[in-house]
């Protein structure tokens, strides 16, 4: 309890005015650790305090005293309206301090001029803001002190090596740790602190506070006698503090991953849960009653000390729920009926932008301390080369083993396909007086497969005494056709003609335009007496590409009677030939090893076993791929269920 020095009546420890006589109780802000002005002058001249001392003084509350003292002057010494309107003049009239302080003032002044903000216009807004801040600060200071003292008594010895000052800072603002894992939230909060107050924002803040006022009043007693603002007013202040994201007791507890032993499990939740100031929590302030009344700081020494510690104090003050403009601290209680002008912020106490940045950085570091960040994803080396190598070795081993073990030429007995039967019919319909043109249009890679089919066909033509000529459209077709003809009849090889121009040469060759041109180049590709492709009874096209087959179908077939083209091709081209056969544009076709077996070429070497083993390897690998994928999916589903 606090005894009024005027009437001797008993008051609450935090009362700033006597409830009996209405006089001010100036001893409220006199703390134990506060020294005399002479001591403070000596401290400010003697050098800067360490961070631990500052934090200790912050916990004990005396760090605010010089700030509060600057603004808690007697009503006679409060700045007048003129002074608040023209702060620059006032600042210029102040006695000059140290050199670094003058530079800071100059820089702050430049920033003010650079932003082109008129202090006069903002003075009214600042006045309202300072009123709010004064009330907020009065409450949050008490709560911070209570929580710090509770944390001191409840916190066990730190085993994780967390510094004592950091634990105390956490104890001052346990709610602030909730956002430690969210860097974006920290950044947003820091941005809000840097946000300038506008009329709209203040109006919205005031409306929000008024909306929350009835709820707070239900839990708190009404205003005390003697014009004391009472706890209801404090509730508004607390609501306003919540609106600006100040840590208040009304905020719900949130999860954080800081070890539990760092949080006073008994004291802090209790402090959060109790909106009213309980008797044990008031003990520190009761002790402060014994200290002599605070005196005003002497001149500029107190602000100088604050300015020296401002960069380090900034995050701490923010954690404690104080705005960065600590210079506006006004411990004089403000009643809602009489807004008290506190004046403009002295320019030498305004934080620079870089200082704010450092403070935000330190604040984020404090938030993230003790939390483990997610490790960087380890990039796995793709073993694609190994898998392909294994596949290749498996395939090669199987094929080599088959080549060694298998008996070799095995011709399976199969039913010939419909297209192969039509091809055989077209070939069998030729007589001795008919002429056939063999066009070779395949590459060396598929020559093995093509040479399995063509010799049988050409031998059959020879057997039927059919005249046949040879034409190639590929430069490599010259020697490929020579190799083919070697297998048919080495002693009686016809000459191989070459048709240049690719698809450009096919059209004149098909419709006889070549013989009409002045050069007559295309006619030379055909034997004597042959004008164009229409003179042949059958064109035997040997091609391994569906693109070449399509070119023949599109450029040549329209100029020929239907059924004049028969195709010998590879197995992979067969599906693209089926539509042309189905529509009657080609007489028939042989496709690959399968149709070669149907033709009954017993004399040709047909490694059927190797072919079958190759297909079996492909089949097994495909099934393995499907099984492995299914297995992976099953494992993933099991892991997901385990995580859920």
Member of 368, 406, 443, 545 binding other proteins (CB under 8 A): 443
Instruction: Assess 49 for contact with other proteins (CB under 8 A).
Output: no
530/608 with CB nearer other proteins: 608
143-180 burial: b if 16+ Cβ within 10 Å, else e: bbbbbbbbbeeebeeeeeebeebbbbbbbbbbbbbbbb
Member of 113, 632, 634, 637 binding other proteins (CB under 8 A): 632
Per-residue interface string for the shown chain with other proteins, residues 544-563, x marking contact by CB under 8 A:
------x-------------
28/606 with CB nearer other proteins: 606
Instruction: Give the binding-site size for other proteins (rule: CB under 8 A).
Output: 65
CB of 581 to other proteins, least distance (A): 9
Instruction: Assess 401 for contact with other proteins (CB under 8 A).
Output: no
Segment interacting with other proteins (CB under 8 A) among 45-53, 63-71, 110-118, 619-627: 619-627
What is the rounded distance in angstroms from the CA atom of residue 567 to the CA atom of residue 419? Answer: 10
Instruction: Assess 203 for contact with other proteins (CB under 8 A).
Output: no
Instruction: Assess 445 for contact with other proteins (CB under 8 A).
Output: yes
**Which residues, in sequence order, are bridge partners of residue 482?**
none
Member of 42, 89, 286, 391 binding other proteins (CB under 8 A): 391
124/630 with CB nearer other proteins: 630
Provide the 8-state DSSP code for 416.
P
What is the rounded distance in angstroms from the CA atom of residue 517 to the CA atom of residue 532? Answer: 13
Segment interacting with other proteins (CB under 8 A) among 164-172, 264-272, 345-353, 441-449: 441-449
Instruction: Assess 448 for contact with other proteins (CB under 8 A).
Output: yes
Segment interacting with other proteins (CB under 8 A) among 96-104, 158-166, 219-227, 518-526: 518-526
Instruction: Assess 569 for contact with other proteins (CB under 8 A).
Output: no
What is the rounded distance in angstroms from the CA atom of residue 455 to the CA atom of residue 484? Answer: 7
Tokens standing for residue 80: 């007048």
Segment interacting with other proteins (CB under 8 A) among 41-49, 165-173, 265-273, 571-579: 571-579
Q: Which of residues 406-435 bind other proteins (CB under 8 A)?
A: 412-415, 417
Member of 575, 584, 600, 602 binding other proteins (CB under 8 A): 575
- For residue 252, which of 237, 273, 267, 235 has the smallest C-alpha distance? 273
Residues 321 and 136 sit within 8 Å (Cβ to Cβ): yes
3-state secondary structure 312-345: HHHHHHHHCCCCCCHHHCCCCCCCCCCCCCCCCC
Instruction: Assess 600 for contact with other proteins (CB under 8 A).
Output: no
CB of 414 to other proteins, least distance (A): 5
* Three-class SS state of 269: helix
Segment interacting with other proteins (CB under 8 A) among 106-114, 188-196, 320-328, 611-619: 611-619
- In sequence order, what DSSP letters do the residues of 342-395 get, joined into one string? --PPPGGGSPPHHHHHHHHHHHHHHHHTTPPPPPPPPPPPPTHHHHHHHHHHHH
Q: Is residue 295 classed exposed, middle or buried when 0-12, 13-18 and 19+ CB atoms within 10 A define those classes?
A: middle
Q: How far is CA 434 from CA 97, 428, 466, 497, 530, in A?
A: 121, 11, 6, 19, 13
Member of 38, 88, 287, 633 binding other proteins (CB under 8 A): 633
CB of 435 to other proteins, least distance (A): 23
CB of 531 to other proteins, least distance (A): 13
Q: Which of residues 460-499 bind other proteins (CB under 8 A)?
A: 476, 478-480, 482-483
CA 225 remoteness from chain centre: 58
Q: Which long-range contacts (CB under 8 A, 24 or more apart) does 334-339 make?
A: 334/131, 334/134, 334/135, 334/229, 335/227, 335/229, 335/233, 336/229, 336/233, 339/127, 339/128, 339/131
Member of 192, 215, 425, 582 binding other proteins (CB under 8 A): 582
Instruction: Assess 637 for contact with other proteins (CB under 8 A).
Output: no
Q: Is residue 140 classed exposed, middle or buried when 0-12, 13-18 and 19+ CB atoms within 10 A define those classes?
A: buried
Instruction: Assess 514 for contact with other proteins (CB under 8 A).
Output: yes
Total residue length of the chain = 644
Q: Which of residues 317-376 bind other proteins (CB under 8 A)?
A: none
Q: Which residues contact 526 (CB under 8 A, 6 or more apart)?
A: 469, 471, 497, 509, 532
11/402 with CB nearer other proteins: 402
Instruction: Assess 517 for contact with other proteins (CB under 8 A).
Output: yes
- In sequence order, what DSSP letters do the residues of 149-192 get, joined into one string? HHHHHH----SS---HHHHHHHHH-GGGGGGTT-HHHHHHHHHH
270/571 with CB nearer other proteins: 571
540/593 with CB nearer other proteins: 593
CB of 518 to other proteins, least distance (A): 7
615-633 burial: b if 16+ Cβ within 10 Å, else e: eebeeeeeeeeeeeeeeee
Element (H, E) at 193: helix 183-194
Q: Which of residues 369-388 bind other proteins (CB under 8 A)?
A: 387-388
- Per DSSP, helices labelled H in 377-530 are 384-405, 418-428, 447-463, 477-488, 503-511, 513-516
Member of 368, 467, 511, 545 binding other proteins (CB under 8 A): 511
30/411 with CB nearer other proteins: 411
Q: Is residue 639 classed exposed, middle or buried when 0-12, 13-18 and 19+ CB atoms within 10 A define those classes?
A: exposed
What is the rounded distance in angstroms from the CA atom of residue 524 to the CA atom of residue 515? Answer: 9
Member of 1, 626, 635, 638 binding other proteins (CB under 8 A): 626
CB of 454 to other proteins, least distance (A): 16
Secondary-structure percent of the chain, ordered helix, strand, coil, rounded to 5: 60, 5, 35
Instruction: Assess 635 for contact with other proteins (CB under 8 A).
Output: no
344/544 with CB nearer other proteins: 544
3/411 with CB nearer other proteins: 411
For binding to other proteins (CB under 8 A), which residues are involved?
387-388, 391-392, 395, 412-415, 417, 443-448, 476, 478-480, 482-483, 500-502, 504-505, 507-508, 511-514, 516-519, 521-522, 550, 571, 575-576, 578-579, 582, 594, 608, 612, 614-619, 621-626, 628-629, 632-633
């Amino acid at each position: 309890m606090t005894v009024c020095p005027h009437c001797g009546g008993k008051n609450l420890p935090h009362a700033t005015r006597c409830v009996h006589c209405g006089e001010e109780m100036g001893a409220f802000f006199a703390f134990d650790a506060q020294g005399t002005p002479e001591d403070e002058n000596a401290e400010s001249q003697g050098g800067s305090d360490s961070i631990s001392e500052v934090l200790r003084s912050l916990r004990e509350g005396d760090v605010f005293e010089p700030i509060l003292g600057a603004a808690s002057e007697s009503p006679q010494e409060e700045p007048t309206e003129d002074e608040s309107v023209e702060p620059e003049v006032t600042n210029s009239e102040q006695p000059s301090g140290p050199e670094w302080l003058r530079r800071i003032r100059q820089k702050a002044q430049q920033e003010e001029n650079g932003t082109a903000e008129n202090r006069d216009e903002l003075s009214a807004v600042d006045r309202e803001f300072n009123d709010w801040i004064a009330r907020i600060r009065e409450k949050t200071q008490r709560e911070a002190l209570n929580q710090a003292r509770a944390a001191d008594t409840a916190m066990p010895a730190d085993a994780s090596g967390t510094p004592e000052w950091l634990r105390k800072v956490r104890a001052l603002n346990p709610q602030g740790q909730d956002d430690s894992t969210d860097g974006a939230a920290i950044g947003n909060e820091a941005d809000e602190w840097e946000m300038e107050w506008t009329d709209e924002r203040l109006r919205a803040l005031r409306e929000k506070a008024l909306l929350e006022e009835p709820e707070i009043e239900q839990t708190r007693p009404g205003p005390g006698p003697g014009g004391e603002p009472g706890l209801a007013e404090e509730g508004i202040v607390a609501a306003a503090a919540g609106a600006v994201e100040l840590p208040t007791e009304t905020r719900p507890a949130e999860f954080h991953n800081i070890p539990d032993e760092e949080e006073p499990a008994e004291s802090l939740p209790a402090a959060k849960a109790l909106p009213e100031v309980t008797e044990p929590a008031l003990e520190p302030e009761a002790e402060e009653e014994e200290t002599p009344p605070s005196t005003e700081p002497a001149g500029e020494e107190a602000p100088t000390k604050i300015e020296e510690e401002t960069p380090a104090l900034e995050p701490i003050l923010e954690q404690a729920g104080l705005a960065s403009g600590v210079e506006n601290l006004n411990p004089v209680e403000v009643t809602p009926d009489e807004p008290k002008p506190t004046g403009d912020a002295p320019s030498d106490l305004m934080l620079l932008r870089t200082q704010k940045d450092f403070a935000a950085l330190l604040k984020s570091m404090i938030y993230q301390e003790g939390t483990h960040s997610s490790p960087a994803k380890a990039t796995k080396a793709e073993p694609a080369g190994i898998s392909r190598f294994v596949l290749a070795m498996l395939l090669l081993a199987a094929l080599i083993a088959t080549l060694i073990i298998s008996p070799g030429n095995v011709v399976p007995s199969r039913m010939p396909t419909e297209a192969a039967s039509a091809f055989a019919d077209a070939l069998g319909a030729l007589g001795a007086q008919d002429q056939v043109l063999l066009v070779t249009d395949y590459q060396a890679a598929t020559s093995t497969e093509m040479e399995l089919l063509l010799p049988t066909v050409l031998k059959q033509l020879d057997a039927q005494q059919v005249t046949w000529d040879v034409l190639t459209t590929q430069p490599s077709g010259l020697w490929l056709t020579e190799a083919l003809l070697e297998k048919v009849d080495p002693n009686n090889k016809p000459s191989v003609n070459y048709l240049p121009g690719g698809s450009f040469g096919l059209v004149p060759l098909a419709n006889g335009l070549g013989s009409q041109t002045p050069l007559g180049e295309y006619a030379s590709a055909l034997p004597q007496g042959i004008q164009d492709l229409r003179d042949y009874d059958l064109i035997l096209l040997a091609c391994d590409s569906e693109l070449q087959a399509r070119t023949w179908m599109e450029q040549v077939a329209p100029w020929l009677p239907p059924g004049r083209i028969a195709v010998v091709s590879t197995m992979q081209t067969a599906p693209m030939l089926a539509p042309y056969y189905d529509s009657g544009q080609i007489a028939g076709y042989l496709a690959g090893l399968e149709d070669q077996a149907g033709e009954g070429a017993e004399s040709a070497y047909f490694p059927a076993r190797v072919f079958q083993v190759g297909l079996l390897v492909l089949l097994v690998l495909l099934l393995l791929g499907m099984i492995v994928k299914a297995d992976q999916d099953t494992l993933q589903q099991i892991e997901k269920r385990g995580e859920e």
